[in-house]
A and B are shown apart, each in its own frame.
Chain A
Amino acid sequence: MNLRPDPSFYPTPRMAMEAPVEKLAFTLMLSPDFSQPDGLAVVNVDPESPDYGKIVHSVFMPNKGDEFHHFGWNACSSALSPLTGHAFLERRYLIIPGIRSSRIYIIDVKEPLQAKIHKIIEPEELFAKTGYSRPHTIHCGPEGIYVSTLGGGGADGTDGPPGIFIMDCETFDILGRYEMDRGVQDKHYDFWWNLPRDYMVSSEWGLPPQFENGLVAEDLLSNKYGHSLHFWDLRGRKNIQTIDLGENHQMALEVRPAHDPAKQYGFCGVVVDTTNLQGAIFTWWRKDDGTFEAKKTITIDPQPADPADLPELLKGFSAVPPLVTDIDLSLDDKYLYVACWGTGEMHQYDVSDPMKPVLAGKVEIGGIVKKTKHPNGKTFGYGPQMVEISRDGQRVYWTNSLYSTWDDQFYPGEGGAAMVMARVATGGGLTLDPDFWVDFPKGYRSHQIRLEGGDCSTDSFCFPSV
């Protein structure tokens, strides 16, 4: 407990943008064949430092087969909520769930270069206390730390629906399930909220048998992956509305609400439209009567390709789908970054008018067919995937692995880990920094990135940037 609020908590997104720039990033490393323990890499991102772009410290876990995916902080700017009185927490611990093992690690990064394991929550405890498995997204909110899960109970995670559970923000004890009334929600992926307006939005990927051993083509073609957005009364813990985006919009993944809580809209990325292989972004918004609507505002076309250049899964289509697997919104709510993992492109959209996004910049790197190299001449395996934006919106970092078994289906052969960074030009436009390239230890792949002091997909703000 601090005597004053942690200096990395900001009342408004604008104040977070004006904060000192990040000097370190935290990146998850996973062993795709489970032969080595997964780890957390601390990456130097300070261009003034001789260690720029280098891993300066790593923490490896005592177990194998966890499969690290997403992670988050024990506390963020949401602690400044005048309603909850948690202002004196420290942003100190990273909560890292193993999406495959259901084990949760709490890593103390108070001294980032001496980051160490603080606590391990074994899967049995999670199963016993929540009936959920395969923990995924982390956000800190009114009742503590909220964690979404992808699986229910039982060996294959289909015994009961997946959902969100709550952890104590100081002891990290699992407190129990979040939902009091989940309505029709039976799949889960991401979630985020608007704290002062008291609503939450959640999305759907698929159930564990649909992803753990690879994408199930029959399920995709019969539209059995998730395609709905759920809207919740956050503190009432009730599903108040479900919007079906249309069953052809398969896999509604990342939910990115406007950071400014006075704005009542946000975005959600859809991996693939099974009628035409397009990737899509939906804009959702809250109306004056408190109900929600969603509309498709961005479509990204597939690119024709020679079947010989395509993996088994795609040969029949003679085209490579963009595969929108991650999106991220800058803190000023101006630019939405869209990772097209299939075609190997990172798109930057100006979403100043959220209903009329305009493509403002684009970087090509990797890709199933194009396999574009980094400007430094090195091969970027897979495509742009987990994307994270610096608080000031000037730098965009991303890695390349989607999920171990899916990587292998879409990009046969080992592609390795990568983490790159692009600089944002004033007025839009995106260029890769030729000098930033992170070398990861052999046999690893890289997934989500978190920036020291918060970034554009962790912090929830309680005051508008007026």
Chain B
Amino acid sequence: MTALWWAVIASGLYHGLNPGMGWPLAVSAALMEQRALALPRALILLAAGHLAAMLVVLLPFSAMVTLVNLEREIRISAACLVIGMGLYLLITDRHPRFLARISPAKLGLWSFLVAIAHGAGLMLVPIYLGICAMEQEAGHAAAGTLMGADVRMALLVAAVHTLAMAFAGGVLAIGVYCWLGLRFLQKAWFNLDRVWASSLVLVGAFALFLALRS
């Protein structure tokens, strides 16, 4: 159980560190407005978009977990979905063009769509389902309140994940803005596309293994 919560936090840190999830935009906002306060403001918008993307993906699963008594099947299909998304990103290796149409002023919307398009929310699904399964096994919730419990759990998982994401992105953004300078962006921006896609496949494969074993 603790391991799964660590996974929620680790995935949040990972998303936050990935420049593709937006921390350079927080630096850019502060530099463009010549106002340090624009950095936390941009960070909050990015986090809000990310949180919304997590919820949009997690909430349908929380409904399914309670309504349908096919917990194992759901976990298997979710794992396959995540593996599929990872493989899709690995094969296509392209950035969705619609993302380039979003106005830079709409940071929250941008963050939401980027997280959806890159499967950031999906990466969290197997971890979330694992937590729900263990909660049920531990008998923490009576059958009647399961629905509420699963929804609350989705909210909690998304919130913890997003806090970790905002923390990691924030540390990098503040570090670059205050000390490291934009040279860091030029030197330390690694192409994470393949690593990212591979981590989706890995998370999915691990979840599949756990689900099949349960």
Q: Which residues of A contact B (CB under 8 A)?
A: 1-5, 7, 9-12, 15, 80, 82-88, 142-144, 195-198, 235-236, 261-262, 462-464, 466
Which residues of A lie under 8 Å from residue B104 when comparing CB positions? 83, 195-198, 235
A84 touches B103 (CB 8 A): no
A463 to B34, CA, bound (A): 11
A5 to B187, CA, bound (A): 7
Which residues of A lie under 8 Å from residue B193 when comparing CB positions? 1, 88
A466 to B99, CA, bound (A): 28
List residues of B (101-149) whose CB comes within 8 Å of A's CBs. Answer: 101-105, 110
Identify 20 new A-B residue pairs, CB closer than 8 A, beyond the known A9-B186, A235-B102: A1-B191, A3-B190, A3-B191, A4-B187, A5-B189, A7-B186, A10-B186, A11-B186, A12-B182, A82-B28, A84-B100, A143-B97, A144-B97, A198-B104, A198-B105, A262-B31, A462-B28, A463-B31, A463-B185, A466-B31
Which residues of A lie under 8 Å from residue B28 when comparing CB positions? 82, 196, 462-463
B95 touches A4 (CB 8 A): no
A198 touches B103 (CB 8 A): yes
Q: Among B23, B27, B102, B189, find the residue whose CB has the most chain A CB atoms closer than 10 A.
A: B189
B90 to chain A, nearest CB (A): 13
Which residues of A lie under 8 Å from residue B19 when comparing CB positions? 82, 87
Q: Is B183 an interface residue (CB 8 A)?
A: yes
Q: Among A5, A9, A236, find the residue whose CB has the most chain B CB atoms closer than 10 A.
A: A5
A197 to B22, CA, bound (A): 17
B134 to chain A, nearest CB (A): 36
B189 touches A466 (CB 8 A): no
Which residues of A lie under 8 Å from residue B95 when comparing CB positions? 84-86
The B interface, classified by DSSP as helix, strand, loop or mixed, is helix
Query: Given A11-B186, A466-B34: A88 and B105 within 8 A (CB)?
Result: no
A80 to B184, CA, bound (A): 12
Per the CB 8 Å criterion, the residue count for chain B at the interface is: 31
Q: Is B93 an interface residue (CB 8 A)?
A: yes
Which residues of A lie under 8 Å from residue B191 when comparing CB positions? 1-4, 87-88
Which residues of A lie under 8 Å from residue B190 when comparing CB positions? 3-4
Q: Please encode chain B, from 174 to 211, with 1 for each CB lying within 8 Å of some chain A CB and 0 for all others.
A: 00000000110111011101000000000000000000
B183 touches A15 (CB 8 A): yes
A4 touches B189 (CB 8 A): yes
Closest to A86 in B: B95
A198 to B105, CA, bound (A): 9
A5 touches B186 (CB 8 A): yes
A11 to B101, CA, bound (A): 21
A9 to B187, CA, bound (A): 11
A135 to chain B, nearest CB (A): 21
A3 to B193, CA, bound (A): 9
Which residues of B lie under 8 Å from residue A144 when comparing CB positions? 97
A184 to B103, CA, bound (A): 23
B20 to chain A, nearest CB (A): 5
Q: Which residues of B contact A (CB under 8 A)?
A: 19-20, 22-25, 27-28, 31-32, 34, 93, 95, 97, 99-105, 110, 182-183, 185-187, 189-191, 193
A46 to B181, CA, bound (A): 31
Query: Given A1-B93, A84-B100, A86-B95: A262 and B34 within 8 A (CB)?
Result: yes
Residue pairs across A and B with Cβ atoms less than 8 A apart, 12 shown, are A4-B190, A15-B186, A83-B99, A84-B99, A87-B19, A88-B193, A196-B28, A197-B32, A198-B104, A262-B32, A463-B182, A466-B34
Closest to A170 in B: B94
Which residues of B lie under 8 Å from residue A85 when comparing CB positions? 20, 95, 99
Which residues of A lie under 8 Å from residue B103 when comparing CB positions? 198, 235-236
A236 to B104, CA, bound (A): 11
A196 to B106, CA, bound (A): 12
Which residues of B lie under 8 Å from residue A236 when comparing CB positions? 101, 103
B182 touches A83 (CB 8 A): no
A236 to B19, CA, bound (A): 24
Nearest 4 CB-CB pairings of A with B: A82-B24, A11-B182, A142-B100, A88-B191
A7 to B102, CA, bound (A): 27
A143 touches B100 (CB 8 A): yes
B189 touches A83 (CB 8 A): no
Closest to B105 in A: A198
Query: Given A261-B32, A262-B32, A463-B31: A235 and B186 within 8 A (CB)?
Result: no
A92 to chain B, nearest CB (A): 16
A82 touches B25 (CB 8 A): yes
Q: Among A1, A195, A235, find the residue whose CB has the most chain B CB atoms closer than 10 A.
A: A235
A464 to B27, CA, bound (A): 11
A220 to B89, CA, bound (A): 55
A164 to chain B, nearest CB (A): 15
A84 to B114, CA, bound (A): 10
Which residues of A lie under 8 Å from residue B183 when comparing CB positions? 11, 15
B163 to chain A, nearest CB (A): 21
A197 to B32, CA, bound (A): 9
B117 to chain A, nearest CB (A): 10
A11 to B27, CA, bound (A): 11
Closest to A233 in B: B103
A80 to B19, CA, bound (A): 11
A341 to chain B, nearest CB (A): 37
A83 touches B31 (CB 8 A): no
